[in-house]
């Protein structure tokens, strides 16, 4: 080899390493995008449930009875 020339094997190895690195970065970006989308869906669901709960509480007064309370106490939302 003369004047810092590289063999095809070295260039090919660098190419594959760069390609692998780029694929890994792309995969990480896709995972982040997926998680951001899931967070948006969950936020929307929480907002929707909060609105439903608020409407329910307005129609039922300050508290509501639940079957999950063993001693039949009134549960209130503060």
What pLDDT digit, counting tens, does each position of 1-17 carry?
A: 456 666 555 678 888 99
Pairing mode of beta strands 74-76, 63-65:
antiparallel
Give Cβ neighbours of residue 69 (< 8 Å, ≥ 6 apart). Answer: 75
pLDDT the model gives residue 7 = 59
First to last CA, the chain: 79
Mean pLDDT value across residues 32-46: 97
Tokens, residue 69? 């309370």
Question: Rounded CA gap, 51 and 60, in Å?
Answer: 14
- How far is CA 8 from its chain centroid? 43
| Assigned token pair, 57 | 């509480």
pLDDT in tens, 56-74: 888 876 555 555 555 555 5
**Average pLDDT across the chain, whole number:** 80
């Amino acid at each position: 080899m003369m004047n810092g020339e590289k063999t095809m094997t070295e260039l090919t190895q660098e190419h594959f390493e760069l390609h692998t690195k780029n694929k890994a970065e792309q995969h990480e970006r896709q995972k982040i995008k997926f998680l951001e989308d899931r967070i948006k869906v969950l936020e929307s669901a929480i907002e929707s449930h909060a609105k439903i709960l608020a409407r329910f509480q307005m129609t039922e007064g300050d508290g509501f009875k639940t079957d999950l309370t063993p001693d039949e106490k009134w549960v209130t939302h503060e």
